[in-house]
Amino acid sequence: MVVNHKKLFTIGWADECVWRKSFIFAISLKIIYFVLMENNDYIYTLEIAVRDYELDSEGIVNNANYLHYLEMTRHEFCRWAGYSFKEMNADGIVPVLSRVEIDYKTPLRSGDVMLSSLWVEKRGVRFVFHQDIRNKFTGEMAVSAVVTVVSLEGGRLSRGDRLFERFEKWL
């Protein structure tokens, strides 16, 4: 019987590569699960891919784009929860930002995919969104933000009771 050691080595090496890729993928999934479960207060997560036109001259996402990501997540959360901004406006409710606190941690780059997560609480007349953006594959925190929203009705500041009724189960 003739044994081709070169072929055996090649098969063994390929199997090891497949095993390593599977192991890395499994670890990546565990990191994603851990990241999401780390703050079990999250009520909504949106996956967003970085687009090349969002990068600055250093090849990282321009800081202003994170505000767009945060806003997109809030809007998609409202739609998912059953009360879109279009419906709010039709009902005479206009949610407006009153404050944004944002901490930039680790930059995102071309080809990255992020997980933008939030939870919300009501403090008096304010709705306070706690939002985090993480790199989907590494689990690294890109941005942590606290966004405060107030509600206008008929052009005047309201107590937000109508919004509270619609989002009560998420608060």
- Three-state DSSP string of 92-143: CEEEEEEEEEEEECCCCECCCEEEEEEEEEEECCEEEEEEEEEECCCCCEEE
pLDDT digits (tens, 9 = 90+) for 106-143: 999 999 999 999 999 999 999 999 999 999 999 999 99
Give me the pLDDT at residue 170, please. Answer: 86
* pLDDT at position 59 over 80: yes
* pLDDT at position 85 over 60: yes
The amino acid present at 46, given as its one-letter code, is: L
Average pLDDT over residues 22-33: 54
Q: Per the structure block, which two tokens stand in for 117?
A: 């997560």
**Is residue 110 within 8 Å of 59, Cβ to Cβ?**
yes
* pLDDT at position 144 over 80: yes
Give me the pLDDT at residue 28, please. Answer: 56
* pLDDT at position 161 over 90: yes
pTM, to two decimals: 0.76
Average pLDDT over residues 29-35: 51
